[in-house]
Amino acid sequence: MVGPTDDLDLIGRRTAQRACVVRALIDHGGFVGARALHGILESQGARVGLNTVYRTLAALVGAGRADVVRDRGGERLFRHRPFPEHQHYLLCRVCGLSTPVDSEAVESWAERVAEASGFAEVEHTVELTGLCPRCRSHPTY
Amino acid sequence: MVGPTDDLDLIGRRTAQRACVVRALIDHGGFVGARALHGILESQGARVGLNTVYRTLAALVGAGRADVVRDRGGERLFRHRPFPEHQHYLLCRVCGLSTPVDSEAVESWAERVAEASGFAEVEHTVELTGLCPRCRSHPTY
DNA sequence: CTAGTAGTGACAATCATTTCCATCTACGGT
DNA sequence: ACCGTAGATGGAAATGATTGTCACTACTAG
Ligand SMILES: [Mn+2]
Ligand SMILES: [Mn+2]
Ligand SMILES: [Zn+2]
Ligand SMILES: [Zn+2]
């Protein structure tokens, strides 16, 4: 396990704003959009520009310290990734709660398909979404 | 195999515009964006509003006659689906060429993960992208 | 401490998609 | 064939996420 400090080292200069963004992303735990994260920071009294939130998240993704998925509306949702390994998640469509899933089977499947295809530089995106037990009971307040 | 006629029956009234959109989508063969499809129609002299292109594609998706993926920029790409079965594709990031892939392994994997998770209404998106043999050789003209 | 460069943020721009709404038309009665 | 009308069209404006611009700020190497 690593902390926010390690993330900051990977993405350039250490600024108060980036520290806030990384801190908030880690605290949130699940997948969260840039605008929502910016809202959280505002409610904490942290003065960080939305643009900086976007840039910091992009930097984290580039450094392999965050994962990205697209929600139904096409918005990008980010989640901090404490470990360097490639991950896939099952996430709740309502609250963003996410749990890593064992993706051994898909990884090997994707590799097999890629080889048989004649295509080069094959990449894959795999996303599972559903309703978590908690949101499942709630009558969508 | 079914033709454009069958598609039109599924999505409401038969209008010249919808016929054009469905025809163009089928002729294109691979995945294509709404705007690009609209451009194709324009170059054919077909007077169809972009709005109608979007609506027709949405209707096809709703009727299960088209598949959707997101490209890297977040744009939605559509492909006509002649058969009713759920499909996954390997598609070229450059030209949009797509080939259905056998996804038996992922389907069962997704089902297994869903059951073990406690989540309800679990859905999945699986996309493979790469460079097709043709685009692979071309030096990105 | 200072220079120099990377980072910041208010604002404008972009881009795909949706919403509005006035107008049109396909089509099931008659 | 003729209506009436719900459904369809399309131009323009709105939306919403993301990126570009650029003057200003503040890390940090030396
Ligand atoms: Mn994977
Ligand atoms: Mn599937
Ligand atoms: Zn939930
Ligand atoms: Zn290609």
Task: State whether A80 and A121 are in the same domain.
Answer: no
Torsion region of B75: left, alpha or beta (phi above 0 gives left; psi -120 to 50 gives alpha): beta
pLDDT at A17 over 50: yes
Task: State whether A54 and A71 are in the same domain.
Answer: yes
**Structure tokens belonging to residue B93:** 């990031």
- Do residues B60 and B7 make contact, with C-beta atoms less than 8 angstroms apart? yes
- Do residues A90 and A42 make contact, with C-beta atoms less than 8 angstroms apart? no
Task: State whether A77 and A90 are in the same domain.
Answer: no
pLDDT at B140 over 60: no
At A139, is the pLDDT very low, low, confident or very high (cuts 50, 70, 90)? low
Q: Which amino acid is at A31?
A: F
Distance B52 CA to ligand 2 centre (A): 29
Task: State whether B80 and B95 are in the same domain.
Answer: no
- Do residues B31 and B77 make contact, with C-beta atoms less than 8 angstroms apart? yes
Distance B69 CA to ligand 2 centre (A): 13
CA nearest to B112, candidates A12, A101, A84: A101
Q: Do B122 and A109 touch (CB under 8 A)?
A: no
Angstrom distance, B15 CA to C26 C1': 7
Task: State whether A29 and A89 are in the same domain.
Answer: no
pLDDT at A134 over 80: yes
Angstrom distance, A15 CA to D5 C1': 64
- Do residues A7 and A74 make contact, with C-beta atoms less than 8 angstroms apart? no
pLDDT at B141 over 50: no
Burial class (CB in 10 A: 0-12, 13-18, 19+), A137: exposed
How confident is the model over B23-82, as pLDDT tens digits? 999 999 999 999 999 999 999 999 999 999 999 999 999 999 999 999 999 999 999 998
Task: State whether B39 and B94 are in the same domain.
Answer: no
Task: State whether A38 and A62 are in the same domain.
Answer: yes
Task: State whether B101 and B35 are in the same domain.
Answer: no
Question: What is residue A141's predicted lDDT score, i.e. its pLDDT?
Answer: 46
**Mean pLDDT value of segment A18-26:** 97
Residues ≥6 apart with Cβ < 8 Å to A126 = A88, A103, A106, B106, B124, B125, B126, B127
Residues ≥6 apart with Cβ < 8 Å to A16 = none
Angstrom distance, B97 CA to C27 C1': 39
SS3 sequence of B59-105:
HHHHCCCEEEEECCCCCEEEEECCCCCCCEEEEECCCCCEEEECCHH
SS3 (DSSP) at A65: coil
How confident is the model over A31-77, as pLDDT tens digits? 999 999 999 999 999 999 999 999 999 999 999 999 999 999 999 99
∠B40-B45-B50 over CA atoms, to 5°? 55
pTM: predicted TM-score of the whole model, two decimal places: 0.90
pLDDT at A138 over 90: no
User: What domain count does chain A have?
Assistant: 2
Distance A141 CA to ligand 3 centre (A): 12
CATH number of the domain at B73, please.
1.10.10.10
Task: State whether A72 and A95 are in the same domain.
Answer: no
pLDDT at B135 over 60: yes
Domain membership of residue A101 as a residue range: 85-141
How confident is the model over B87-122, as pLDDT tens digits? 999 999 888 889 999 999 999 999 999 999 999 999
How crowded is the C-beta side of B13, counted as CA atoms within 13 Å? 4
Q: In chain B, what percentage of residues exceed pLDDT 90?
A: 78
Task: State whether A62 and A15 are in the same domain.
Answer: yes
Task: State whether B32 and B75 are in the same domain.
Answer: yes
> Which of A76, A113, A129 is nearest residue B101 as measured by Cβ atoms?
A113
Task: State whether B50 and B77 are in the same domain.
Answer: yes
pLDDT at A22 over 70: yes
Q: Do A113 and B125 touch (CB under 8 A)?
A: no
Q: Do A128 and B127 touch (CB under 8 A)?
A: no
CATH number of the domain at A132, please.
3.30.1490.190
Strand C bases near protein CB (under 7 Å) are: 6-11, 15-20, 25-27
CA nearest to B57, candidates B38, B82, B74, B70: B38
Residue where a domain terminates, one of B37, B61, B84: B84
Residue where a domain terminates, one of B53, B68, B84: B84
At A23, is the pLDDT very low, low, confident or very high (cuts 50, 70, 90)? very high
Q: Taking the C1' atom of C15, which residue's CA lies nearest?
A: B75
